[in-house]
Structure 1
Amino acid sequence: MATWTDEDLDRVGRAEELQLASRRGDGTLRPSVTMWVVRAGDDLYVRSAYGPDNPWYRRAKASGAGHVRAGGVERDILFADAGADVHPDIDAVYHAKYGRYGPAIVGSVVGDKAVPVTIRLLPRA
């Protein structure tokens, strides 16, 4: 399995937003959606602010693969589940990175309701 380089983790982790596109069944990319991204340890994560019925989230889970662009980095990726023990760290990074937007906004991507809609972004080989 491929891993993120330290430089890619730093660049994507510092980026304010990420462009994420999931793959269709025929392998082509869907249009990108703009979202927040956080780095926790040596991994990158995104969360669905509007729960499991958000269209981008459903498509990402169904396809399992996509493409991201952020901080000058472009990579084909796989969508994976996050480990159970990493969620407090993810919450802390969301608060630190995006807290200036206020608790109502950041609250949409932290806490217990965000756990099941967390996606770990894995670079594709």
Structure 2
Amino acid sequence: MAVIDYLTRTKTVHLATELANGGEVVTPIWAVVVDGVGYIRSGYGPQSKWYRRVRRTGRATFIDGPRRYPVAIENLNDDPVNRAVDEAYRAKYRWQFGALRQVVSPRVRAYTMRVEPLTPDADG
């Protein structure tokens, strides 16, 4: 799937979330893939505006240049998966020690979300 390839190969992904008035905001964030499934995590917890928008809509779009990958996003409450997501973040972002420490801290595990493609990737 192209969205999973994008999440795997791109250090900082671009996540578009919907505003209440119908517009969208694109936010650069980190993302990882574990066992073929994409995950994102709000390192700033519920204070992140993008996180609040995703929680409101359950949807977002990853943007890779001209390509758009619409996804459904759901919160995750699974300790073994969260540990695997922690390890994926450590492996992918080990060069960003300070920010990485925050994103793998136990207090932000509650803000881990699973990414599910909404449509088949036509260009994938």
Classify the TM-score, shorter chain.
Answer: 0.7 to 0.9
SS at match of 2:89: helix
1:89 match: 84
1:59 match: 53
Q: Given residue 94 of structure 1, which amino acid in structure 2 is its aligned partner? A: Y
Which aligned pairs between 1:42-53 and structure 2 lie closer than 5 A?
42-53=36-47
Tell me how large the CA RMSD over aligned residues is: 2.0
Cα distance in structure 2, aligned partners of 1:73 and 1:115: 29
Change (3 A) 1:46 1:91: same
Percent identity of the aligned residues? Answer: 25
CA shift digits 1:57-76 (9 cap, x unpaired): 11110111121124875211
Structure 1 segments of 4+ aligned residues over 3 angstroms from their partners: 70-73
TM-score norm. by structure 1 comes to 0.82
SS at match of 1:69: strand
Unaligned runs of 5+ in 2: 120-124
Unaligned runs of 5+ in 1: none
Which aligned pairs between 1:60-79 and structure 2 lie closer than 5 A?
60-70=54-64, 74-79=68-73
